[in-house]
Amino acid sequence: MENKGKLKAWIDRFTKESEKPFTKQWYSAYGKIVLGCFLFALADFLFVVPYGMAPGGVYGLMSVFNNLWSWPMDLVILMDLPLFIIGLIVLGANFGVKTLLSVILTWVFTWFAENVFYIPQFGYIPLIHSGDFISAETFSALGQQLQELYLPVRGLGESNIVSYFRPDYLLNSIVGGLAYGVSIAMIFSSGATSGGTDVVSMILHKYTHLPLGTLVMIVDSIIALTSFAIGGDIRLPIFSVILIFVESKVIDIVIDNKVNKTMLIISNNTEGMKKLILDDLQRSGTVFNGRGLYMDSERNMIYTTVSRKEYNKIKYSAKNIDPHCFITIINNTETLGEGFDELPD
């Protein structure tokens, strides 16, 4: 009976949702997962696979396998699902239904995109390139220096290459990073994770206590280095890391676009500051009593959190209220409670 109770608690924790079913928040969260997974699969086949890049994650690793041994990209599920199960065992049931859904949907869209963007007898077509495609016969007639400017259209194996293209590594990495970043940010903002090698980073974090962001960067960079195995081209791991960098910045911008400002205001005109916050901004805060170290006099400190727009209102009004006030500003990437985001269930 005790084991059954533990199992039920584990299942309840696994299936626990922040949103009530069929509400606006519920549709928004699951809509982001579906759209994010679709965009991720699309970006993979338009920017990553044709160039043979490996911008971290199990999909980056599968891109290398695809180019080395022509493995279908949809075999990624053979890595993704075991990692998800290992995460449940080692880390506990803290991934939830959303992460499992994102893993399955990404695989489904990957299978779909591979059948759409892989052209038989030709290969994977890159969206970004410099100039026209040339045939294998034209390529063989070029001198060695000109041949170094081209990449084969990938996916058919070296013995079956029928066309070549001139790559634009930098533009491809930037646009691919933008697409990857937006797609993953949508998944993250829904309350899910992308699974995959994120699980490896979380397990390492549990036992090493190193910062999770650092571990994610290390794991993804190691995977990016594996792209060097594709023809020994040093450009592939370099531009893979650039794509990872752009992706991470986009994720920060998309997820943290609601950055608020927590302000600590020390002022002799507490009433004037209170009027500005309460009446003009329709916000609230907390007043603390303190004692200054230098003058050993009593001072009041106001603690409040406001939006970036409201922060500017306080910033440029403070001098008129109290020219000698002292203000400390802290970037606050998440604020829960009345007036901000709702507290999760």
C-alpha angle 41/45/46, rounded to 5°?
Answer: 110
Q: Does the pLDDT of residue 260 top 90, yes or no?
A: no
Which residues fall within 8 angstroms of residue 10, CB to CB, at 6 or more apart?
93
Q: Which two tokens stand for residue 125?
A: 């077509």
Mean predicted confidence (pLDDT) in 173-190: 87
For residues 289 and 238, the answer to whether their CB atoms sit within 8 Å is: no
Give the pLDDT of residue 14.
47
Mean predicted confidence (pLDDT) in 67-89: 76
Give the pLDDT of residue 178.
93
Give the pLDDT of residue 344.
66
Name, of 190-194, 198-202, 304-308, the range with top average pLDDT: 304-308
Q: Is the dihedral of CA 116, 49, 231, 77 positive or negative?
A: negative
Give the pLDDT of residue 303.
93
Report the side by side order of strands in the sheet with 326-332. Answer: 286-291, 298-306, 260-267, 326-332
Domain 260-332: which CATH number of 3.40.50.300, 3.40.50.10700, 3.30.70.120, 2.70.98.60: 3.30.70.120
pLDDT tens per residue across span 193-204: 776 776 777 677
Distance from C-alpha of 263 to C-alpha of 166, rounded to nearest angstrom: 52
Q: Does the pLDDT of residue 94 top 60, yes or no?
A: no
Give the pLDDT of residue 255.
67
- The closest of 198, 14, 196 to 88, measured between CA atoms, is 14
Which sequence spans correspond to the domains of the chain? Answer: 2-255, 260-332
pLDDT tens per residue across span 16-65: 444 567 788 788 888 999 999 999 889 988 898 888 888 878 877 887 78
Q: Tell me the pLDDT band of 299, cut-offs 50, 70 and 90.
A: confident
Give the pLDDT of residue 155.
63
**Which burial class, exposed, middle or buried, applies to 333 when counting CB atoms under 10 A from its CB (0-12, 13-18, 19+)?**
exposed
Give the pLDDT of residue 45.
86
**Which burial class, exposed, middle or buried, applies to 218 when counting CB atoms under 10 A from its CB (0-12, 13-18, 19+)?**
middle
The per-residue pLDDT of the chain, averaged, comes to 80
Give the pLDDT of residue 116.
79
Mean predicted confidence (pLDDT) in 153-172: 79
pLDDT tens per residue across span 317-329: 888 899 989 999 9
Which residues fall within 8 angstroms of residue 232, CB to CB, at 6 or more apart?
none
Percent of the chain topping pLDDT 90: 13
Q: Does the pLDDT of residue 10 top 60, yes or no?
A: no
Distance from C-alpha of 35 to C-alpha of 39, rounded to nearest angstrom: 6
Give the pLDDT of residue 93.
53
Q: Does the pLDDT of residue 72 top 80, yes or no?
A: no
Give the pLDDT of residue 174.
95
Distance from C-alpha of 72 to C-alpha of 154, rounded to nearest angstrom: 12
For residues 231 and 68, the answer to whether their CB atoms sit within 8 Å is: no
Distances (CA, A) of 6 to 1, 2, 10, 285, 286: 9, 6, 6, 42, 42
Q: Does the pLDDT of residue 7 top 60, yes or no?
A: no
Q: Does the pLDDT of residue 112 top 80, yes or no?
A: yes
SS3 88: helix
Q: What one-character DSSP code corresponds to residue 226? A: G
